[in-house]
Amino acid sequence: MKKVSTVLVENLKHLGVSHVFGIPGKPLVPLLAELESQDLQFVLTRHESGGGFAAAGYSFNKGLGVALGTSGPGGTNLLTAAGQAKAYHAPTLFITGHPSAKDTGKPQGQDSSMFGTDLVKMFEAVTLFSARVDRGDQMEMFLKHAIEKATIGIKGPVHLSIPMDVLQEEIPSFTVNTPRLPTTFVSNQLDDVVSSLNKAKQPVLLLGKGVHISNAYEEIRCFAEAWQIPVMTTPGGKGSFPTNHPLSLGAFGLGGDEKATTYLEKGIDQMIVVGSKLSDMSLAGFSEVLYPEHLIQFDVDPTFVQKSLPVPALYVQGDIKANLIELNQQSKVNEVIISERKLLEDHRGSTADFQENGKYLSAEIAIKELRKHLPKDTILFGDDGSHTFYAIKHYDIYQPGTFFFDDVFGAMGHAIGYAIGAKLASPETPIICLTGDGCTFMHGMEIATAVDQNLAVLFIVFNNYALDMVDKGMEKMLGHSIGASYHKGLDVQQFAESLGAAAFTCRKAEDIHCSIHQALENLHGPTVIEVMVDKEEIPPILNRV
């Protein structure tokens, strides 16, 4: 017989978890003691949300992330991180503490039951599974359910609320294995897909975040090349296809490329959507005159199929990677009818004539300078704001799977924690976070976590003393902006240095070159590069209705 806390940590180790993120609290003490006893590193973050973000970022490489928060406010602080993990389909186990189960119904501090802050109900909306373990003998079954929900099929966050006295109960030992489906579901519609593609004269591929989730980069490339179909990506799909590939049209939607729009204007008879809900972010600028005649939509989740575009659609359900493997096997090149399709020249606009004034840079030029000096295998986590939409348009992708951005939930500051978790999971990989001053105001304290952990994460902060995306959008809607600029802006360099990070401020292109060079040589802690950008520059976000 072993304590519940002992068996739980044994299972986390068995599932490949080496780091657990969060903030301690009394109900969690038995679990924290067990983490220490079994040499699982507990990473103390500066806020529970930061812990949840880091755990989700960790899961990108490790397959499962774990975040802890105490009862009551510890749990509510994790809710935003759970919502963000759900949007990313990041397999993340959120564990919240709870006062003694035997005292439920009595007045208790930070009560997380139905008599206080009912965390199980709160987490239901932002997870795939949420439950309270009221007895030790429930632990095995509830943990199995949680891990299965987190890692099979749609994937995403799950939540367990575990009272302190339950953690200390003794139960028989058990082992939960990483679930494996006996067979991966492949759609029975693939013959129809081949038939539709053979008839297409002007098709286009639109790639969403699902390509990242299914790790279908090579399958997409083979599919596009076999059928010679031009490829564009949604904001969340950025990074799923190299932008220097001859078939690349760049991005479409918010932060989209003129090249993609110009191609669509020629008239599309078949649009193949892979792993996208087709949200308003992804369809920004997609007017009725651009509608395709027909859709083929690959997705594991049918919820949003045919909800956005009123055109006939063929739904291909199941794992994207598995379906593409089968489709690529069926559609050998010598069996495919391919008409000649010439892509357009690259007509992306340029601000090459922008004159540096010594005070700030063009954000577009800053993005291009960053790309020029960063290693090609750098993994970039884009935060939510104009800074990342500049990158969606202007940051070139050389290797698929090196750019991650969420265009659905959009929690400001989440990329700071995601980059930290990703670096702990992949210490040898160059990891950067592209964020803004508004996001840094919200969750910049997590830079101190990177300092404590000696993580060589590079944080790029675009600073214009405003919530730029909101500011410009409001000006478009109202003719003026309300409450989107800071009366006293953030001095990012001083802030970062106060947390113990190396920091630089860039006002010229040459500054970016020098600071990145120094950052890449700093292997013993984070570097923060503040880029002062032009507040009056118009970001590529105003095509959203």
HSE-CB for 483 with a 13 A CA cutoff: 0
What's the CA gap between 132 and 371, in Å, rounded?
46
In this predicted structure, the answer to whether residue 170 has a pLDDT above a threshold of 90 is yes
What's the CA gap between 527 and 307, in Å, rounded?
43
Average pLDDT over the chain reads 90
Q: Which amino acid is at 251?
A: A
What's the CA gap between 379 and 410, in Å, rounded?
19
Q: Count Cβ neighbours within 10 Å for each residue of 425-443 and write b for 16 or more, e otherwise.
A: bbeeebbbbbbbbbbbbbb
Average pLDDT value for residue range 426-453:
96
DSSP-assigned beta bridge partners for residue 204: 271
CA neighbor of 69 nearest in space, from 82, 87, 85:
82
Average pLDDT value for residue range 442-468:
95
If pLDDT is split at 50, 70 and 90, which confidence band does 532 have?
very high
What's the CA gap between 382 and 86, in Å, rounded?
17
CA neighbor of 186 nearest in space, from 336, 332, 328, 335:
328
What's the CA gap between 442 and 413, in Å, rounded?
6
Percent of the chain with pLDDT over 90: 71
| Cβ pair 290, 256 in contact under 8 A | no
Q: What is the pLDDT of residues 343-368, one digit of tens each?
A: 545 444 455 555 567 788 999 999 99
DSSP string for residues in 275-291: S----TTTTTT--GGG-
If pLDDT is split at 50, 70 and 90, which confidence band does 207 have?
very high
Determine which of 199-203, 297-301, 328-332 has the lowest per-residue pLDDT on average.
328-332
Write down the residue that tokens 């083929």 correspond to.
Answer: 296
The predicted structure's pLDDT at residue 47: 97
Average pLDDT value for residue range 86-109:
81
Count of Cβ atoms closer than 10 Å to residue 523 Cβ: 9
Strands 294-299 and 231-233: unpaired
Determine which of 233-242, 283-292, 456-465 has the lowest per-residue pLDDT on average.
283-292
The predicted structure's pLDDT at residue 476: 84
In this predicted structure, the answer to whether residue 254 has a pLDDT above a threshold of 90 is no
For the beta sheet containing 19-22, the strands, ordered from the edge strand earlier in sequence to the opposite edge, are 41-44, 19-22, 65-69, 92-98, 158-163, 130-132
220-229, 350-359, 465-474: range with highest mean pLDDT: 220-229
Q: What is the pLDDT of residues 14-54, one digit of tens each?
A: 999 999 999 999 999 999 999 999 999 999 999 999 999 99
Residue 345 is classified by DSSP as P
Determine which of 104-113, 333-342, 524-533 has the lowest per-residue pLDDT on average.
333-342
Q: What is the pLDDT of residues 426-435, one digit of tens each?
A: 999 999 999 9
Query: How distant is the alpha carbon of residue 216 from its chain centre?
Result: 16
The predicted structure's pLDDT at residue 191: 87
The three-point CA angle 354-358-364 to 5° equals 40
The predicted structure's pLDDT at residue 332: 62
Helices (H), 190-278: 190-199, 210-214, 217-227, 258-264
Strand (E) or helix (H) holding 32 = helix 29-37
| Cβ pair 46, 24 in contact under 8 A | no
The predicted structure's pLDDT at residue 116: 61
In this predicted structure, the answer to whether residue 472 has a pLDDT above a threshold of 90 is no
| Cβ pair 94, 159 in contact under 8 A | yes
Helices (H), 71-161: 73-88, 119-124, 139-151
The predicted structure's pLDDT at residue 338: 43
Helix/strand number for the chain, H first, E second:
20, 20
HSE-CB for 333 with a 13 A CA cutoff: 7
Average pLDDT value for residue range 501-514:
95
If pLDDT is split at 50, 70 and 90, which confidence band does 337 have?
very low
What's the CA gap between 218 and 298, in Å, rounded?
16
What's the CA gap between 160 and 140, in Å, rounded?
12
Q: Which amino acid is at 308?
A: S
| Cβ pair 220, 204 in contact under 8 A | no
| Cβ pair 532, 358 in contact under 8 A | no
Percent of the chain with pLDDT over 70: 91
What's the CA gap between 444 and 439, in Å, rounded?
7
Q: E strands along 19-129, which residues?
A: 19-22, 41-44, 65-69, 92-98
| Cβ pair 5, 34 in contact under 8 A | yes
The predicted structure's pLDDT at residue 266: 92
Backbone angles phi, psi at 74, to 5 degrees: -60, -40
If pLDDT is split at 50, 70 and 90, which confidence band does 182 have?
low
HSE-CB for 259 with a 13 A CA cutoff: 23
Domains and CATH numbers, the chain: 2-171 (3.40.50.970), 190-335 (3.40.50.1220), 363-532 (3.40.50.970)
If pLDDT is split at 50, 70 and 90, which confidence band does 336 have?
very low
The predicted structure's pLDDT at residue 40: 96
